[in-house]
């Protein structure tokens, strides 16, 4: 067995379990070894019930005193309950929607329970704790890894399979990191890191493993950016000699801000440099707050490309956003005689064939679409400019796939995530950066408030008031279903259950629910119904962070707001305040953490996305910018897993410095000791190893 072996080589993994593993992207043993734990539980900290409630999760070795009772409620909801004791006290233990535990627990059994002990009306309770049967002669693990699972998989199944893979494969695993880099940065070997990340023997060894893998992620990513930029510089693109945009500015319904003008000047300079027919390609990101006017800047870039006899493409992450761009840009470009077309998965086949033909024959000047634009069937006659919107949703490899459509073309990417400039240089090292740090005049601030759970009735009343005034409401929850995070914190709000509860409390209001687990077509339909005013309240996860413009939405409620990054909160707040009516953002949090309170106070008092991002960087370090349901972590083939644990900017800067040092001595990564690194970096940059040099 090695990393390339199919997952079925692991004992106990047959066809059914292999199918379950495939649902979370695991097909080989190597995939399984890279399926790192999402968190750990330190079950070695034992307490007695007699010590009473404690602020964090702990372990309790208890004897089950009563036979578990299982009760069912509406729609197959169940509650399993029993009592347990350790001689110092007694508590009630409950499991929500886990009826199978009834046959695994019996009176008289001794079990180690891990959870947060609470007191309600004088009674001690443990809700849905983790369990480890106490068996004489068998040692219990102190540090227990918790993995992401899918239907058909349990934590025990995944841990058993991972343990077997570690035992069989890790001893023969080769390390791609040169010893010079590894030793200089005090890093563990890859064998040690992979073994300890899955089967930690101590907190110190676990930290050493995380340090190594955290370094690897950002180090290889930094190398990949260098290779992508190097490849870009080695190519050419059509030189846009005519950069006169006065006619376009005449039809714009608003004047450009100073920041927009600076970005446009950057773009004009990029695409027109030199004297010949071709120039080095533009490779620029326009980063700005929600509402800062990135689309207008992109439209001007497309106008320049078309005016110079080439075609432009704009790729958006969702069909809704692509359709929104189509509506606004086709109306604008129609006045200039520029042909615009839409290409998404939902376009009928007959129309799609017509669009593809017209595009390849040069009758379409600007094509707007989703990832459909990457398809092999999409061909351009005179490609000149490729634009991606919300670029962190696509990543290096998808961006490269679009650029390869033209072989040699200019590339412009847009991001509405305000990122501190120092961090942006690390994240987007393959791009030049233009920052839109001004909002158009007249845009109203969204009034922001921080409240706790005691405001629940007033929040419901405020929702009713907004709806009665013919406005609409967003409610954002941190998870999809209670079962997603019940091990983490049973008190968090989940979108599905929240929507059901809100519908029960407010029966006269039209409520819909949207989250990332739904098919794209269903998400688009739900969002379209909300945008058209067919529903009053949209309960959602952060999937609405990027969405259609709904000027009628005036209220954003964010539950468990302390669980979100500040930049993410700012992004969500930007979903409202797009119309003429006064708009509000309510941040709901019952956290007593001083850091949480400080961060939410920043949100309440600050409206500049870049200042918010800088403040969050100071408070929490750079890790927050790599996390989130649709966070910046999605970069091509690399799903940032450990970068979110960077505690300070200095640590990240040391990683970047190491990559620059290596590239300074071996710019092409052609030395034998760097060969394995070169392959990994090339793969991430969307390049083949052969074409890298």
Q: 286 and 181, same structural domain?
A: no
Beta strands in 380-428 (DSSP E): 383-388, 410-415
Q: 427 and 392, same structural domain?
A: yes
Q: Name residues whose C-beta falls within 8 Å of residue 506's C-beta, 6 or more positions apart in sequence.
A: 460, 463, 464, 537
Q: 134 and 153, same structural domain?
A: no
C-alpha separations of 676 from 8, 481, 572 in Å:
27, 41, 41
Residue 376 lies in a domain: yes
Residue with tokens 């696509």: 394
Q: Which of 572, 606, 640 is the last residue of a domain?
A: 606
pLDDT of residue 547: 57
pLDDT of residue 422: 63
Q: 428 and 312, same structural domain?
A: yes
Give the domain extent around 13: 7-39+147-212
Q: 494 and 353, same structural domain?
A: no
Q: 412 and 267, same structural domain?
A: yes
Residue 611 lies in a domain: no
State the pTM of this model. Answer: 0.70
Q: What are phi and psi of 594, to 5 degrees?
A: -65, -40
Q: What are phi and psi of 546, to 5 degrees?
A: -115, 115
Q: 414 and 282, same structural domain?
A: yes
Residue 222 lies in a domain: no
pLDDT of residue 682: 80
Q: 363 and 314, same structural domain?
A: yes
CA distance linking residue 622 with residue 643, whole number of Å: 8
pLDDT of residue 657: 85
Sign of the alpha-carbon torsion through 269, 275, 279, 280: negative
β-strand 69-72 against 78-85: which pairing, if any? antiparallel
Q: Which of 562, 588, 606 is the last residue of a domain?
A: 606
Q: 152 and 135, same structural domain?
A: no
Residue 86 lies in a domain: yes
**Domain holding 348: CATH number?**
3.40.50.300
Q: Which of 384, 402, 436 is the last residue of a domain?
A: 436
Residue 623 lies in a domain: no
pLDDT of residue 358: 97
Tokens of 639: 């799903």
**Domain holding 90: CATH number?**
2.40.50.140
pLDDT of residue 628: 43
Residue 454 lies in a domain: yes
Residue 679 lies in a domain: no
Mean pLDDT by 10 residues, the chain (693 residues): 92 93 93 92 92 90 96 82 96 91 93 94 92 90 91 90 95 91 94 96 94 90 79 84 95 93 96 91 85 91 97 88 90 95 92 96 96 87 89 52 68 79 64 82 85 94 97 88 42 78 93 84 86 94 72 95 85 87 95 89 89 77 54 45 68 84 90 89 62 41
Concatenate the DSSP letters of all residues of 28-60 into one string: BHHHHHT---SEEEETT-B--GGG---SS-EEE
Q: 455 and 361, same structural domain?
A: no
Q: What is the count of structural domains for the chain?
A: 4
pLDDT of residue 621: 67
Residue with tokens 């025990």: 156
Q: 83 and 24, same structural domain?
A: no
3-state SS assignment for residue 505: helix
548-552-556 Cα angle (round to 5):
80
pLDDT of residue 523: 83
Residue 217 lies in a domain: no
Tokens of 555: 């209220």
Q: 339 and 396, same structural domain?
A: yes
């Amino acid at each position: 067995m090695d990393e390339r072996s199919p997952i079925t080589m692991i004992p106990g993994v047959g066809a059914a379990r292999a199918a379950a593993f495939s649902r979370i992207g695991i097909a080989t043993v190597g995939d399984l070894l890279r399926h790192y734990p999402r968190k750990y539980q330190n079950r070695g900290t034992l307490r007695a019930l007699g010590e009473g409630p404690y602020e964090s999760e702990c372990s309790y070795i208890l004897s089950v005193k009563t036979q578990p009772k299982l009760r069912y409620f509406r729609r197959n909801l169940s509650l399993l309950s029993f009592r347990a004791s350790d001689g110092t006290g007694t508590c009630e233990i409950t499991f929500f929607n886990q009826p199978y535990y009834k046959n695994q627990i019996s009176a008289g059994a001794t079990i180690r329970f891990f959870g947060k002990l609470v007191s309600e009306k004088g009674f001690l309770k443990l809700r849905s704790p983790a369990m480890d049967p106490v068996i004489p002669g068998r040692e219990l693990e102190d540090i227990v890894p918790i993995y992401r699972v899918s239907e058909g998989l349990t934590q025990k199944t995944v841990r058993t399979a991972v343990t077997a893979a570690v035992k069989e494969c890790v001893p023969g695993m080769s390390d791609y990191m040169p010893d010079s880099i590894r030793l200089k940065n005090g890093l563990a070997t890859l064998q040690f890191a992979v073994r300890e990340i899955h089967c930690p023997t101590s907190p110190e060894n676990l930290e050493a493993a995380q340090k190594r893998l955290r370094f690897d992620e950002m180090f290889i990513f930094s190398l990949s950016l260098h290779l992508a930029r190097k490849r870009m510089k080695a190519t050419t693109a059509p030189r846009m000699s005519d950069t006169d945009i006065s006619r376009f500015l005449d039809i714009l319904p608003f004047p450009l801000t100073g920041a927009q003008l600076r970005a446009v000047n950057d773009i004009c300079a990029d695409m027109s440099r030199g004297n010949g027919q071709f120039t080095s390609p533009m490779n620029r990101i326009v980063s700005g707050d929600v509402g800062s006017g990135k689309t207008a800047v992109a439209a001007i870039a497309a106008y320049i490309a078309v005016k110079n006899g080439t075609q432009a493409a704009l790729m958006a992450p969702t069909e809704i956003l692509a359709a929104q761009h189509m509506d606004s840009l086709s109306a604008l470009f129609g006045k200039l005689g520029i042909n615009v077309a839409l290409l998404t998965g939902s376009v009928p086949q007959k129309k799609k064939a017509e669009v593809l033909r017209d595009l390849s024959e040069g009758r379409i000047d600007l094509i707007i679409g989703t990832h459909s634009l990457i398809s092999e069937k999409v061909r351009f006659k005179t490609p000149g400019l490729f634009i991606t919107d919300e670029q962190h949703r696509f990543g290096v490899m998808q961006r490269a796939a679009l650029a390869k459509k033209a072989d040699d073309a200019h590339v412009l990417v847009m991001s509405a995530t305000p990122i501190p400039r120092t961090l942006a240089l690390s994240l987007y090292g393959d791009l030049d950066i233009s920052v839109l740090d001004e909002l158009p005049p007249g845009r109203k601030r969204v009034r922001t408030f921080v409240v706790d759970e005691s405001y629940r009735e007033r929040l419901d009343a405020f929702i009713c008031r907004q709806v009665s005034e013919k406005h609409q409401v967003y409610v954002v929850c941190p998870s999809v279903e209670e079962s997603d995070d019940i091990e983490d914190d049973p008190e968090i709000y989940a979108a599905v259950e929240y929507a059901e509860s809100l519908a029960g409390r407010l029966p006269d209001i039209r409520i819909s629910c949207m989250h990332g687990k739904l098919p794209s077509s269903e998400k688009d339909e739900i969002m379209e119904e909300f945008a058209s005013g067919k529903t009053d309240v949209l309960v959602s996860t952060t999937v609405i962070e990027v969405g259609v413009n709904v000027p009628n939405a005036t209220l954003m409620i964010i539950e468990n707001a302390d669980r979100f990054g500040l930049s993410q909160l700012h992004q969500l707040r930007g979903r409202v305040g797009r119309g003429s009516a006064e708009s509000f953002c309510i941040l709901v949090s019952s956290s007593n953490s001083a850091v949480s309170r400080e961060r939410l106070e920043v949100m309440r008092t600050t409206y500049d996305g870049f200042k918010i991002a800088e403040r969050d960087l100071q408070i929490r370090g750079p890790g927050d910018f790599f996390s989130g349901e649709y966070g910046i972590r999605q970069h091509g083939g690399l799903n940032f897993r450990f970068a979110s644990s960077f505690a300070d900017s200095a640590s990240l800067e040391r990683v970047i410095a190491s990559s620059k040092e290596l590239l300074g001595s071996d710019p092409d990564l052609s030395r034998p000791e760097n060969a394995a690194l070169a392959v990994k970096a090339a793969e991430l940059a969307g390049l083949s190893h052969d074409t890298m040099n």
